[in-house]
């Protein structure tokens, strides 16, 4: 999001305390579960949503969204804690 800063924090700990990574993680699991459910929909489920395989489409949508957020977090990582006590958990 911001202009690249020289100091980068692309470590596991740095990424895990970034809200973008956490969002990506949650939606990866949600997306995967829904996509698997949507891969073999029951007739009853399809009937409910008017023939639309909503689990599959939402699942795939969530996976794409998760990938985008993970990519954003990876490409512009949070700057490490500044000496003046800048919060390390803050995303850029």
Partner 1 sequence: MHVLAQDQLRLDAAGVDYALLALYFVFVLGVGFMARRSVSDSLDFFLSGRSLPAWVTGIAFVAANLGAIEIIGMSANGAKYGMPTMHYFWIGAVPAMLFLALVMMPFYYGSKVRSVPEFMLLRFGRPAHLVNGISFAVAQILIAGVNLFLLASIVNVLLGWPLWVSLLVAAAIVLTYTALGGLSAAIYNEVLQFFVIVAALLPLTYVGLHKVGGWDGLVEKVSASPGGAEQLSAWPGKELTGFGDSFLSVLGIVFGLGFVLAFGYWTTNFVEVQRAMASKSMSAAQRTPIIGAFPKLIIPFIVVVPGMIAGVSVSEMVALKAGENPGVDYNDAMLLLMRDLLPNGILGVALAGLLASFMAGMAANLSAFNTVFTYDIWQAYVAKGRPDRYYLKMGPWVTAGATIGAVGTAFIASGYSNLMDYLQQLFSFFNAPLFATFILGMFWKRMTPTAGWVGLVLGTASAVAVFLLSEAGVIALSGQGASFVGAGAAFVVDIAVSVAVSLVTRPKPDEQLVGLVHSLTPKESLKASSAGEDSGWYRRPWLLAGIVLAITVVMNIVFG
**Can you give the binding site for partner 1, defined by CB under 8 A?**
1-3, 16-17, 19, 22-23, 25-27, 29-30, 33-34, 37-38, 41-42, 44-46, 48-50, 52, 54-55, 57-59, 62, 65, 85-92
| Locus of tokens 């990938």 | 67
Residue 81 CB, shortest distance to partner 1, in Å, is: 8
Residue with smaller CB distance to partner 1, 10 or 26: 26
Give the span between the Cα atoms of 92 and 89, in whole angstroms: 10
The residue among 64, 88, 90, 70 whose CA lies nearest residue 25 is: 70
């Amino acid at each position: 999001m911001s202009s690249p800063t020289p100091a980068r924090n692309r470590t596991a700990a740095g990424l895990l305390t970034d809200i973008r990574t956490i969002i990506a993680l949650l939606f990866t699991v949600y997306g995967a579960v829904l996509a698997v459910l949507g891969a073999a929909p029951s007739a009853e489920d399809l009937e409910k949503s008017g023939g639309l395989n909503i689990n599959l489409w939402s699942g795939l949508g969530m996976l794409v969204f998760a990938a985008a957020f993970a990519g954003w977090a990876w490409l512009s990582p949070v700057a490490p804690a500044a000496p003046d006590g800048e919060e390390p958990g803050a995303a850029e």
